[in-house]
Amino acid sequence: MNQAKSFSQQIETHPEIAARFPDLHPPFDRQAAVTEANRCLYCFDAPCTAACPTHIDVPAFIKKIASGNTTGSAKTILEANILGASCSRACPVDVLCEGSCVMHRYNKQPIEIGRLQRYAMESLYDKGLPHPFTPAADTGMKVALIGAGPASLACAAELRRRGVATTIYEASSLPGGLNTYGIAEYKLPLAESLREIDMLTQLGVDFLFNARVNAGMLVELERTHDAVFLGMGLGAIHKLGITGEELSGVTNALDFIAGYKAGEILSVPERVVVVGAGNTAIDAANAAVRLGAKQVHMIYRRGPDKMSAFEFEYEHARQEGVQFLWHVQPTRILGAGNVEGLELVQLSATDDGSLIPQAGTEYSLPVELVILAIGQATHTSFLGETIKLERGRIAADHATGQTSNPKFFAGGDCTNGGREVVDAVADGKRAGVAMAAWLEAQHANA
């Protein structure tokens, strides 16, 4: 690590944010964890393990909790998922491991795998023990990784465990990507994301911050490194392209979430609209409620059956008090200097699924803050022509992450268009293992 302070020492959670965004699911204490672990049936060919993109051996880590071996439990988790702590909080367990738990078949509550995983990981980190893994002997090979999000972190960890030197180039001033800046604080606090990365630095991963890689720099990295991993995620959130988008009071969901997590946004106006219906849109809408908005609307062009947010996130937002307006589209943001309202029009769907604005249905919603959450653009313009894209995403082999240029590997949102943290970790892990094997083969053939 190049800096005097650890990452988690460089930033403090604002007390007001900590108070307004307490844990959604409080942690288990020892007794509760052991009791829950003892409910597990330790299934053979466990469906929970199959459902996890990183294939954590769930029955094995739960059994170790039941027998009091929490350090061994955390090690089992880390073998499969180097970001096991943040994934225990950020994963949509209802649709992954817990969603596939056999307990559902017996009309019983699924095992609380996420909370047990968190218990094991936090037990390890709270003890202040060194990271259970150590780097292998230096192979003399080195890899540059673009972006310090979950995919690059997982890839770098695998490479370090195989003796490959790694340097991560990150455009912002802290690591973690969406893990640090983009997930609701009541799910994954910024400080927890950084604490986990502090542990990772013990493997000897180097970071260069405020380093935005452009086309020229990428050519140089290719020349000076044995391979390059592309894990830079996605780019800016799309704009609506309507009048008034330049007004003060229009922002995007990622900036908004990062702003409050960093303690730079502590309150919002009374009336807020979030445009979009994905999981990030929900995180932004819930945050607006918790930051003091009296009225928060989410608006979406289609109906609830088509929203990309998970069902449990939708239910959570309704419980928080978010109101939903379906089949509407913004046509104009109103105001002079500051946002004062949002003009909407009702949409109807044709037989082929196209959406048609209905003349005469326009109306305006009084609002002082508009948050855009309508998907992110790709961030690939700096890549050379030897790296092929498919529908704007980097085309990479699923098993290895290797791209059309064999020296470049890729994973995470820049290849899958924006999925879960655990998917990015799985991509990075696969790519790290494959890169190390590819580098060894290149070395042997040299």
Question: Which x/- pattern over 69-108 shows residues binding ligand SF4 (rule: CB under 6 A)?
Answer: --------------------------------xxx-----
Q: Binding-site residue total for ligand SF4 (CB under 6 A)? A: 14
Q: Which is nearer to ligand SF4, 113 or 257 (CB)?
A: 113
For residues 326 and 355, give the distance between their C-alpha atoms in angstroms, rounded to a whole number.
12
Q: Does the protein bind ligand SF4 through residue 204 (CB under 6 A)? A: no
For residues 330 and 307, give the distance between their C-alpha atoms in angstroms, rounded to a whole number.
17
The CB-of-50 to ligand SF4 minimum distance in angstroms stands at 9
For residues 279 and 297, give the distance between their C-alpha atoms in angstroms, rounded to a whole number.
15
Per the listing, tokens 């509550």 go with: 109
The CB-of-63 to ligand SF4 minimum distance in angstroms stands at 9
> Could you tell me where the DSSP H helices lie in 57-144?
58-66, 70-80, 84-90, 113-126
For residues 61 and 77, give the distance between their C-alpha atoms in angstroms, rounded to a whole number.
7
Question: Which x/- pattern over 113-142 shows residues binding ligand SF4 (rule: CB under 6 A)?
Answer: x-----------------------------
Q: Does the protein bind ligand SF4 through residue 434 (CB under 6 A)? A: no
Cβ atoms of 427 and 412 within 8 Å: the answer is yes
For residues 69 and 123, give the distance between their C-alpha atoms in angstroms, rounded to a whole number.
10
Q: Which is nearer to ligand SF4, 105 or 391 (CB)?
A: 105
Strand boundaries in 98-217, DSSP class E: 142-146, 165-169, 206-208
238 class by beta-carbon count within 10 Å (0-12 exposed, 13-18 middle, 19+ buried) = middle
Q: Does the protein bind ligand SF4 through residue 312 (CB under 6 A)? A: no
The CB-of-426 to ligand SF4 minimum distance in angstroms stands at 18
Near ligand SF4 by CB under 6 A, which window of 37-45, 86-94, 312-320, 404-412?
Answer: 37-45
Phi-psi domain of 412 (left: phi exceeds 0; alpha: psi -120 through 50; beta: other): left
Cβ atoms of 418 and 234 within 8 Å: the answer is yes
Near ligand SF4 by CB under 6 A, which window of 44-52, 224-232, 386-394, 426-434?
Answer: 44-52
Q: Does the protein bind ligand SF4 through residue 164 (CB under 6 A)? A: no
Q: Does the protein bind ligand SF4 through residue 66 (CB under 6 A)? A: no
Q: Does the protein bind ligand SF4 through residue 50 (CB under 6 A)? A: no
How many Cβ atoms sit within 10 Å of the Cβ of residue 335?
18
Q: Does the protein bind ligand SF4 through residue 41 (CB under 6 A)? A: yes
The CB-of-115 to ligand SF4 minimum distance in angstroms stands at 12
| Residues making contact with ligand SF4 (CB under 6 A) | 40-43, 46-48, 58-59, 101-103, 111, 113
